[in-house]
Structure 1
Amino acid sequence: MARHADVLFVTALAIVAASPVRAAERQNISIAPGRLGEAAIALGRQTGASIGMSDQSLAGIATPAVHGRLSVEGALKRLLRGSGAAIRRIDGNTYRIVRAHAVHEQRRIAVAVPTSEIEQEPAEIIVTASKRDTPLPRYAGMVDAVGDNGFTAAEAAGGTASLIFRVASLSSTHAGAGRNKLFIRAIADSGVAGPTQATTGQYLGDMRLNYAAPDPDLKLYDMQGIEVLEGPQGTLYGAGSLGGIVRMIPNAPNLGRAGGQISAGLGATQHGDPSGDLAATINLPIISEKIALRVVGYGVQDGGYIDDVLRHRNDVNRTRTYGGRAALRFAPDENWTIDLTGVYQRIKGDDAQYAAKLIGDLKRASAVAQPYSSDYALANLRIERQWDDLRFVSSTGFVRNILSESYDATPPGGPAALFRQRNKIDIFSTENRIVRDLDNGLGWILGASYLESTSDIRRSLTSYGTPPIETQVIPGVPMYGRGLPASSTGVHNRIREATLFGEASFEPVTGLIATIGGRLTNSRLSGEALDPIAFLSVAAIARAEAQANRNETIFLPSLSLLTDALPGMTLYARFQQGFRPGGLAVDDQHIQRFRNDRASTLELGFRKGVPGVDPVALTGNVAYTRWRDIQADVTDRIGIPTTANIGDGRIYTVEGRVAVRPVPRLTLDGSIIFNDSRLSRPTQFVRMLSYEGQMLALPNVANWGGRIGFDYRAPVGGDMRFHLSGSARYVGKSRLGVGPILGREQGDYVDTALSASLSRGAVQWSLSLSNLLDSSGNRFSLGTPFDLRGDYVTPLRPRTVRLGLDFAF
């Protein structure tokens, strides 16, 4: 059975006896509900048209009944509506059904529940982050997908926090929006944001969002969907994907229809200030079916709820975010698509997000305010060319992210002091790949990419006392007093990566798919000290910089086996690797390089049914990860962020998920994850901080996590729709860092949410509640790194209610 062969005309034999007619003529057509393959054959028999498809996996898509006097093209449009497929006319009586890579992109902007949503059959789930548009039943790995514009306006305003609440395997530090580190499964290095590369790759479409920087926390307005791929993704995504990747898929400009949406919300937080959000989206075809522009703009204010008793100020931790996204699409013909995208977002936090437990759940005592800000800008050009089942994709772009942070560095009994750190990151990247999508997840990809990332971290210490000041916070850094800053040693890192990669899936025997791949990367690394203090010797700086300037070549293999020989069941085994290049780091007394690290994961899993499609869908996975020369952003003895290799580690992960549709209008889902992570071979300086021979838990990895939720949709009256959803997520215990100083516990809390909406036509009213139990919890145990022994906690946002209004036009 040549399941992998191109199936150009699947109905040719079925219609040889039919008399051909003009395709545009209307005919009496009657097709029962079923699957696309049978529907295409029936339509061909009834009309004499030749109807084929190049991807046989499309044959299993559910189709509605079609009755009436219709043309062939009209009947096909009804069959394919919302299916994830499109028609391509070959000649007057011949049609080809193809996978519509942008089928969701062409939808009109809609309110949360389209009129026909209850009646529509769910479409097939396609894992586009595989870069080969793999059907979910034939993807060898764990994936979480939120699709079909699945984020409400309230969730979109929450940004990454909303995604974390939905995905049990995704976690984060909680230092504040725009400065958090994301982790997938248990691949977490530390809670401090320094010069190391992220363990989780983040993408907007095909454009990389971050490198040696935290999560930019882009708001999720006008998103078609988000995919989270778990485990190393080194073959397709390269460096910085040790834990997995998060890929956001924005709605593309609609070439055929103008439209838009306005969303507004007001929120009230118990024990805190009010919040609000406002967003607008507009889609404008400039030349019908050729050029269109889509623009999104938003502003979000999250009211504060932390009181500073020393400075006598309430609700100090207010955060404001504003930004937007613009996309211009040019489609000169059906085979070419050119997209130009620009993004800008600014986050400004008035103060830090932590509290001191001994003072109160929502209180602390700081000598100075600790504001922070994140300025993020992106430009991307994407070009796609289609030849039947062959695609060429080129994506080139530039990112600039400026993150400014400040920490209370006031010494005991000394004058108020503030430590500032500014990290400017520039990323240029380009990737060019050619892809062949064969039927049912088979095919291959071959590509090349180049990336250049620079990071400039500059630091200063400001004292607000009056001279003479004898106290020293950082050795070698003076304290001038009177608010005058003194420079502290910073660091510059540059990485240039040139890469060749490829992956192919084939079916050696019926029902068994083998996928092999590899990525060859050459990295050129360089680093230097910025504004070095006199305390550091010139010889030590020169030696460290010489060690940091080097050339590395690394090969990452991958292999997976998948079988769907058992009816309705998928079994798979997968081996994959990921790595991060090294760099240069500084602390209070040293400047030194850190080496690259590599994670290797072997996992076994199964999948039964497709969530949202089948009445019951089950997924399970067991994974073992070996992580060598772990890079971690840590703090030195006095609190300055730095980077070091902390040793080798191993991680066991067990996951399970279930989604149940007892009736078409109700969906129940649940997920659970268990992590056992250990630093099995700590380096010498880590052993000095802990008990000799002890296996230490890796930081920021909850041992247990889980989520349960429900989603109910139903008509109310003749023209209204009601939507009710709720969920609860448990985050288990973890530790802030390695060793007794940073080893404080965090986590062990439950977060809850409930939302309801009522839609009528183009208008939707919504009411949402978060943290229903008004629990404080402890999401993150780091306050100021200059006081590592304090009892600091980062509480959950207290109980919050939001009233929202959405209007589509």
Structure 2
Amino acid sequence: MRHAPYALVALAASLPAQAEARDRSLDISPGTVAESAIAIARQTGTSIVVSDPAIARRRAPRIRGRMSASEAVRRLADSVGARAIAIDNSSWRLEPQLRRTARSARAAGTPASQPRPAASQPPPPAPAAEIVVVASKRDTTLEDLPAQVSIVDGKELALGGIGGTEKITQRIATVSSTYLGSGRNKLFIRGIADSSFTGPTQATVGQYLDDMRLSYNAPDPDLRLSDLERVEVLEGPQGTLYGAGSLGGIIRLVPNSPELDRQEFRASAGGALTQHGAGSADASATANVPLAAERAALRITLDAVSEGGYIDKPVLGSENVNRTRILAGRAIARLELAPQWTLDAIGLAQSTHASDSQYAAREGDRYESAAQVREGSDADYLHGQLVLAGRIGPLKLRSTTGIARQELEERYDATMPDAEDRIFIQRNDTRMLTHETRVWLPLDERRFGWLAGVSLIDNRTQLNRSLERGRERSAATGVLNTITEATLYGEGSYRLRDNLIATVGARLTYARLGGSAEDVPLALTIERAAVTASRDQSAILPSASLLASLSPVTSLYARYQEGFRPGGLAIEGEFVRRFCEDHARTLEFGARHGRAGIDTFDLALNLSYTRWSDIQADFIDDLGLPSTANIGDGRVWTISASGGAFLTDDLRLTGGATLNRSRIDEPVTLSFSRITHVPNIAEFSGRLGLEYSRHLGSGLDLDGRVWASYIGKSRLGIGPELGDLQGDYLDSGLLVRVSNDRIGGTLSITNLADSEGNRFALGTPFAVVREQVTPLRPRTIRIGVDFTF
């Protein structure tokens, strides 16, 4: 594998005899022989070597059904005119077919496809499963990665209809979110949470599509998770690799790439009924079209969703007001410039319209809001990037240049008691230009591997606010934040011993910050000039780790990492003032055993301790508006665990849990109150699930999922106005799918117990005395169908 990309495709189980003997329900997507061999090896826990690059590049059809590993390998070999040579009970080698075909050899009763290996060429030892973590930025395998990472397969995310970020939070216990609404939420990982609102502060979680971040200091755009290879969640801080805004970690969406020599069309559609609410509908389609004599291809995905509302507003005489409509599209064009060199152009657009808010009053009917006006939001997201990737000998290069724009308009009920109806409108317009080029030498079987990169970001965020009474609209103070950031970073890993890897890295960032106040009263213009003057900041973010492999599937690691967020300008009352950068330093210890979905048992454990200085967070100012400040220094302890076990060959138990303890131990005083806790993070969250897969015969397969998750208690925010409790609820779901190679039917139910819960104790910051809650979507039943051509 070190010298040629197709020389070796190998994955092996720790118990090869058991892996070979056990039949499994396999679903191997069409692709190259190399891709199919990796998929078979991962799903069966075996080793497959492809010795000929020409065979590795051949196209293989879908392999699906209940079978042994040897049968799957034989089918793969037969489908491409190759022969499978057994190395041992769990290892095979694919080689060019001899003159006499495998079919004629079988007819003659001779074992032409499985001769004994030559004595002069002993079989190589079978290595452990190689799951490459893309988020490592240098093709690091999971076994060699000294960090806590969660991987969710794209097919798993597509079950039950295309969804958004909630499908990640449902599956990974360490990822949490606020619940203002689609396109407005903030995400948190590993107990690193700052506030409930979307203001000028940069997010604590970096979100990426391939190598390009989705936004700099804007909310989660809640992109549709359609046609993805997988989603990777890398817990933070990840300052060395990803820089500012990765204190909690990063979420990376890895889309399926265009295929140069295969035409494909997939589509799905579904309808749903929500108890206590209105109906929903969704549709998705993906097409892969080869172009230019298999030197180019285009892959297009379209999504449309209409989620029925379930909140009533009796004052307005309206029911089910919070319907949300989402339209999204993504296109990827790939051109093969030369062998092992490609150029990708990626374009993405999504529009989200929420007709009204999704919060309710704590007292009274659990799905009724006391708001007197129509609220809601509109979120539009545009994203484009150009990616050049290739290799020069053993070195790999990847260069990404992109642009993103995110526009969000939010409307809040700002009516005061016994006063005229009033709406507060906030508009957030973010534009970002970014570039990154990196070169790396994969560690592979070498003693030393390294990574070096450069990154440039130019981001501009304008926040405008106004109050509307009837037909009158008056501007409120707004703010413009700009930042230009240049970064050099590098990382190197050295094998001290065959089972011991040391890694060190550093990132040097220089940032120039600027901005201005918007719509400020004339009397304050002189004072604001000094506040909004441009200024420079710099940061050095070191990292170090040590990983010890106790066996091919068991490892221990220790890691030190830092992260930061630059400062900015915030609004307080009618004034604009500065807040400074914050900084996180984390020491963590972890252990991993087994490979999820392959080994009989797998488990990942992690303990982390974070010192967080000058924490940036939001609070309610004297005018009742959200503002931002540095609230003090704190510490966060987190223990997380995830794993699974095969109860039978067809039934797997999965689970995960996280325990967080946080405290601000050097708090400052804001609005006459002392702040002592980090908001929005539950002390305990956990999840349990069962996965069932079985071949029914006659080309039919059955897949089933059932899960339940518990979200513990947390506090909404900081200060007495935002001290409300939230959380302490149980969510659950069920899914059943019956399918063959072409068509599948799905039945899914979410919120099985029809729990109310309180996901988020805020709807509008102007009415906290109303004791607001954001209930779970009531029990929803969906029926869907999907096609593949």
Q: Which amino acid aligns with 1:444?
A: W
Partners in 2 of 1:514 and 1:673 — Cα distance? 27
Which one of the candidate residues 137, 141, 154 is aligned to 1:135?
141
Cross-structure match for 1:414: 419
Q: Which amino acid aligns with 1:552?
A: Q
Partners in 1 of 2:477 and 2:445 — Cα distance? 55
Which one of the candidate residues 297, 300, 325 is aligned to 1:295?
300
Which one of the candidate residues 248, 251, 259 is aligned to 2:256?
251
Cross-structure match for 1:746: 726
Cα distance, 1:787 vs structure 2: 1.6
Please list every run of 5 or more consecutive structure 1 residues that lacks an aligned counterpart in the other structure.
12-31, 52-61, 90-120, 465-482
Q: Which amino acid aligns with 1:624?
A: Y
SS at match of 2:531: helix
Within the alignment, does 1:531 sit opposite 2:519 as a pair?
yes
Cα distance, 1:719 vs structure 2: 0.8
Aligned CA distance change for structure 1 residues 545 and 567 (closer, same or farther; 3 Å): closer
Aligned CA distance change for structure 1 residues 377 and 142 (closer, same or farther; 3 Å): same
Aligned CA distance change for structure 1 residues 39 and 407 (closer, same or farther; 3 Å): closer
Partners in 1 of 2:690 and 2:707 — Cα distance? 6
Which one of the candidate residues 676, 681, 693 is aligned to 2:666?
681
Partners in 2 of 1:124 and 1:664 — Cα distance? 22
Q: Which amino acid aligns with 1:149?
A: K
Cross-structure match for 1:15: none
String of CA shifts for 1:269-310, please: whole Å, max 9, x gaps: 000000000111111101232100011111101100001111
Cross-structure match for 2:433: 428
Cross-structure match for 2:679: 699
Cross-structure match for 2:449: 443
Cα distance, 1:664 vs structure 2: 3.1
Aligned CA distance change for structure 1 residues 122 and 664 (closer, same or farther; 3 Å): farther
Cross-structure match for 2:360: 355
Which one of the candidate residues 217, 221, 224 is aligned to 2:222?
217
Partners in 2 of 1:396 and 1:707 — Cα distance? 38
Cross-structure match for 1:478: none
Aligned CA distance change for structure 1 residues 63 and 453 (closer, same or farther; 3 Å): farther
Q: Which amino acid aligns with 1:738?
A: I
Cross-structure match for 1:563: 548
String of CA shifts for 1:771-805, please: whole Å, max 9, x gaps: 00001000000121112222100000000000001
The within-5 A match list for 1:502-651 is 502-534=490-522, 537-546=524-533, 549-566=534-551, 568-651=553-636
SS at match of 1:789: helix
Cα distance, 1:226 vs structure 2: 0.2
Cross-structure match for 1:729: 709
Cross-structure match for 1:716: 696
Aligned CA distance change for structure 1 residues 213 and 131 (closer, same or farther; 3 Å): same
Partners in 1 of 2:552 and 2:741 — Cα distance? 42
Cross-structure match for 1:27: none
Q: Which amino acid aligns with 2:673?
A: L
Q: Which amino acid aligns with 1:518?
A: A
String of CA shifts for 1:153-183, please: whole Å, max 9, x gaps: 5352x20011110110000000000000000
Q: Which amino acid aligns with 1:746?
A: Q
Partners in 2 of 1:193 and 1:219 — Cα distance? 20
Partners in 2 of 1:743 and 1:176 — Cα distance? 21
Partners in 1 of 2:5 and 2:305 — Cα distance? 50
Partners in 2 of 1:270 and 1:342 — Cα distance? 37
Aligned CA distance change for structure 1 residues 564 and 185 (closer, same or farther; 3 Å): same
**Does structure 1 retain, via aligned residues, the 8 Å contact 2:46–2:69?**
no
Aligned CA distance change for structure 1 residues 71 and 306 (closer, same or farther; 3 Å): closer
Q: Which amino acid aligns with 1:437?
A: P
Aligned CA distance change for structure 1 residues 146 and 10 (closer, same or farther; 3 Å): closer
String of CA shifts for 1:667-695, please: whole Å, max 9, x gaps: 21111110001111111326x213xxxx7
Partners in 2 of 1:319 and 1:643 — Cα distance? 29
Partners in 1 of 2:283 and 2:747 — Cα distance? 15
Aligned CA distance change for structure 1 residues 288 and 418 (closer, same or farther; 3 Å): same
**Does structure 2 retain, via aligned residues, the 8 Å contact 1:6–1:439?**
no
SS at match of 2:170: helix
Which one of the candidate residues 342, 347, 357 is aligned to 2:347?
342
**Does structure 2 retain, via aligned residues, the 8 Å contact 1:153–1:221?**
no
Cross-structure match for 1:271: 276
Partners in 1 of 2:421 and 2:41 — Cα distance? 73
Cross-structure match for 1:661: 646
**Does structure 2 retain, via aligned residues, the 8 Å contact 1:171–1:184?**
yes
SS at match of 1:363: coil
Aligned CA distance change for structure 1 residues 8 and 724 (closer, same or farther; 3 Å): closer
The within-5 A match list for 1:474-485 is 483-485=471-473
Q: Which amino acid aligns with 1:750?
A: L
**Does structure 2 retain, via aligned residues, the 8 Å contact 1:306–1:314?**
yes
Q: TM-score, normalised by structure 1?
A: 0.83
Partners in 2 of 1:292 and 1:77 — Cα distance? 31
Cross-structure match for 2:464: 458
Cα distance, 1:444 vs structure 2: 1.1
Aligned CA distance change for structure 1 residues 71 and 699 (closer, same or farther; 3 Å): closer
Partners in 1 of 2:267 and 2:576 — Cα distance? 51
Aligned CA distance change for structure 1 residues 303 and 387 (closer, same or farther; 3 Å): same
Partners in 2 of 1:587 and 1:644 — Cα distance? 9
String of CA shifts for 1:110-135, please: whole Å, max 9, x gaps: xxxxxxxxxxx997422111011221
Return 420-429 or 143-152, whichever deviates more: 143-152
Cross-structure match for 2:113: none
Cα distance, 1:252 vs structure 2: 1.0
Q: TM-score, normalised by structure 2?
A: 0.86
String of CA shifts for 1:466-485, please: whole Å, max 9, x gaps: xxxxxxxxxxxxxxxxx111
Partners in 2 of 1:644 and 1:362 — Cα distance? 34
SS at match of 1:540: helix
Partners in 2 of 1:70 and 1:678 — Cα distance? 59
Partners in 1 of 2:295 and 2:702 — Cα distance? 37
**Does structure 2 retain, via aligned residues, the 8 Å contact 1:306–1:363?**
yes
Which one of the candidate residues 365, 374, 387 is aligned to 1:369?
374
Aligned CA distance change for structure 1 residues 373 and 79 (closer, same or farther; 3 Å): farther
Q: Which amino acid aligns with 2:530?
A: R
Q: Which amino acid aligns with 1:492?
A: L
Q: Aligned pair count? A: 712
Cross-structure match for 1:126: 132
Partners in 2 of 1:335 and 1:428 — Cα distance? 27
Aligned CA distance change for structure 1 residues 594 and 312 (closer, same or farther; 3 Å): same
Within the alignment, does 1:785 sit opposite 2:765 as a pair?
yes
The within-5 A match list for 1:74-89 is 74-75=81-82
SS at match of 1:697: coil
Within the alignment, does 1:767 sit opposite 2:752 as a pair?
no
Partners in 2 of 1:259 and 1:495 — Cα distance? 43
Cross-structure match for 1:378: 383
Q: Which amino acid aligns with 1:230?
A: E
Cα distance, 1:576 vs structure 2: 0.6
Cα distance, 1:610 vs structure 2: 1.2
Partners in 2 of 1:539 and 1:86 — Cα distance? 76
Partners in 2 of 1:72 and 1:523 — Cα distance? 55
Please list every run of 5 or more consecutive structure 2 residues that lacks an aligned counterpart in the other structure.
10-39, 57-67, 97-126
Partners in 1 of 2:784 and 2:55 — Cα distance? 49
**Does structure 2 retain, via aligned residues, the 8 Å contact 1:233–1:578?**
yes
Cα distance, 1:86 vs structure 2: 13
SS at match of 1:773: coil
Cα distance, 1:332 vs structure 2: 2.6
Partners in 2 of 1:780 and 1:7 — Cα distance? 49
Cross-structure match for 2:476: 488
Q: Which amino acid aligns with 1:704?
A: F
